[in-house]
Amino acid sequence: MVAQRKSAQSAAKWLSEDDVWIDHVSLDLSDVEWLSGVRRLTLWAVKMPSGLLASLPHLEWLDLRGGSGASIDFVNGCSKLSYLAVNQIRGLHDLSALSAQTTLRLLSLYGLPQVQALPSLANLLSLKRVEIGSMKGLAGLGPLLEAPHLEELVLHRAVSLGSADPEAIAAHPSLRAFEWFAEDVPVKTWAPIVDRVGRPKAKAVSASDWFEQNP
């Protein structure tokens, strides 16, 4: 166990004093000590125990990539997240923990084909931008559209929409920009939806740039 903990710390790549990238290791609860000042955290195929992320008092930015797991319950107790990205986690099908992330401003979900249903985002009063990509298993976007102050919605590649989604997107009272970067989707599928929504195009922008533009 000691060797494993040391490898986790030695594998950490610090982009700044509070921004760290950790790749293909296992974290232990004792790692909280050296991670305690982290504000931005990127984890690539990292295993970790329940409660570790909630023990990081300054964590605002969480980017999860690869690995495996059934749910995102590991974010439970994170009380300051303004950005959450969940990308290509094998076996992931349960996103219910999103409903409690009320401080989120930007949410990105990509490459999660086993997710069939999104939880209600009605309590996410600060959520302004959502990016959804390569999620063919979805029954629809309805619960996402319950976010009351959503301003930007971006779809990437194949995303399954429900029959009522185009009308619901078009009717969303605060949505001001929409785009579908539909690389692998037939024009006959995405073009009528973009036309029906009738909003200006949302820009493709990195999370860092988006937060700079939306302080």
**In the chain, alpha helices (H):** 2-11, 32-35, 165-171, 187-197, 207-213
Report domain extents, the chain: 60-213
Write down the pTM of the prediction.
0.95
Residue-wise pLDDT for 136-153, tens only, equals: 999 999 999 999 999 999
- Rounded Cα gap, residues 76 and 160, in angstroms: 27
Among the listed residues 100, 106, 59, 81, the one whose alpha carbon sits nearest the alpha carbon of residue 207:
106
- How confident is the model over 14-56, as pLDDT tens digits? 999 999 999 999 999 999 999 999 999 999 999 999 999 999 9
Pairing outcome for strands 83-87 and 13-16 = unpaired
8-13 contact pairs (CB < 8 A, 24+): 9/34
Greatest distance between any 2 Cα atoms in the chain: 58
What pLDDT score does 6 carry?
52
Residue ranges with strand state E in 33-190: 40-44, 61-65, 83-87, 106-110, 129-135, 152-159, 177-181
Using 50, 70 and 90 to split pLDDT, how confident is the model at 4? very low
Q: Could you tell me the two tokens for 116?
A: 């069939």
- In this predicted structure, what is the pLDDT of residue 119? 97
**For position 7, what pLDDT does the model report?**
77
Look up the CATH architecture of domain 60-213. Answer: Alpha-Beta Horseshoe (3.80)
